[in-house]
Amino acid sequence: MTEDRFYKELELLGISLSDIQKKQFEDYYKLLVEWNQKMNLTGITEKEQVYLKHFYDSATLVKVIDLNKEDTLCDIGTGAGFPGVVLKILFPNLKVTLVDALNKRILFLNHVIEILKLKNIETVHARAEEYAKEHREKFDVVTSRAVSSLSTLIEYSVPIVKVGKYFIPMKGDIAQEIKASERSIGLLSVKLECQEKFVLPVENSTRTILKFRKEKSSHVKYPRKFSEMKKNPL
Ligand code: SAM
């Protein structure tokens, strides 16, 4: 059964779920399928795929960080809540902020938060580069899954990370991306502490999680406006 496989894979990550958490994942899955009929939230709705490709994949962030020891997490470009909502279910201690530029996704997330009775979680309808101007050095962990090139992500995500804390993008197969981001890594003063490459169970696609530590405050000129980032990437 799909759920059993999911629980088993989570146990291999050191996570065991309470009955409340299992029910929260069930409700989340149902809402995703229901709302996906009226708006585009995800290309996959088959149960095994959602549990193993979205839910389990989101949980793999714990391969590089102990979230029991962190206080605040921001998920940039969260879409239907991946990884932010999954991590909130798994770590109720975390204060989570979900940012997305598309308001219809924010409406979905507000409904999920209400039905799952999640506390200490907020949604923000904004572009990351605008949000970053107002919320500098606020978070212990900033993450982002399948949103943009690494170089662009670094420019608008790192300014909101506290000095000494972490930016942890979740990517597919990144091959050349780190090399192509050397300039932004230097300009935004982050250091790559580790990278974890693995394949997802069942579906077997490659995943890479990068853990960057922020070493110094980011210059106020970052992030630049969207048009400038696009015209002249770092
Ligand atoms: N993170 C989710 C996941 O893994 O399923 C969603 C990925 S989806 C491919 C990209 C999401 O990022 C979309 O919901 C889009 O609206 C959002 N997005 C893209 N650029 C953004 C930006 N500059 N600021 C905020 N959200 C952005």
For 173-202, what is each residue's pLDDT tens digit?
A: 887 899 999 999 999 999 999 999 999 998
pTM score, whole prediction: 0.97
What is the pLDDT, as a whole number, of residue 202? 86
Q: What is the average per-residue pLDDT within 70-77?
A: 98
What is the pLDDT, as a whole number, of residue 233? 87
Q: What is the average pLDDT score of the chain? A: 96
From the CB of 102, is ligand 1 less than 6 Å away? Answer: yes
132 pLDDT more than 80: yes
Contacts of 163 (CB under 8 A, 6+ apart): 137, 214, 215, 216, 217
User: CA-to-CA distance for 228 and 234, rounded, in angstroms?
Assistant: 10
CATH architecture, domain 3-216+226-230: 3-Layer(aba) Sandwich (3.40)
**Alpha helix segments (H runs only) across the chain:** 2-12, 19-36, 47-49, 57-59, 84-90, 103-115, 128-134, 150-157, 177-180, 182-187, 226-231
Take atom 13 of ligand 1 and give the residue whose Cα is closest: 79
Q: Map residue 32 onto helix, strand or coil.
A: helix
Domain limits of the chain? 3-216+226-230
From the CB of 82, is ligand 1 less than 6 Å away? Answer: yes
Q: How far is the CA of 19 from the centre of ligand 1 (A)?
A: 30
pLDDT category of residue 168 using cuts at 50, 70 and 90? very high
What is the pLDDT, as a whole number, of residue 76? 98
From the CB of 78, is ligand 1 less than 6 Å away? Answer: yes
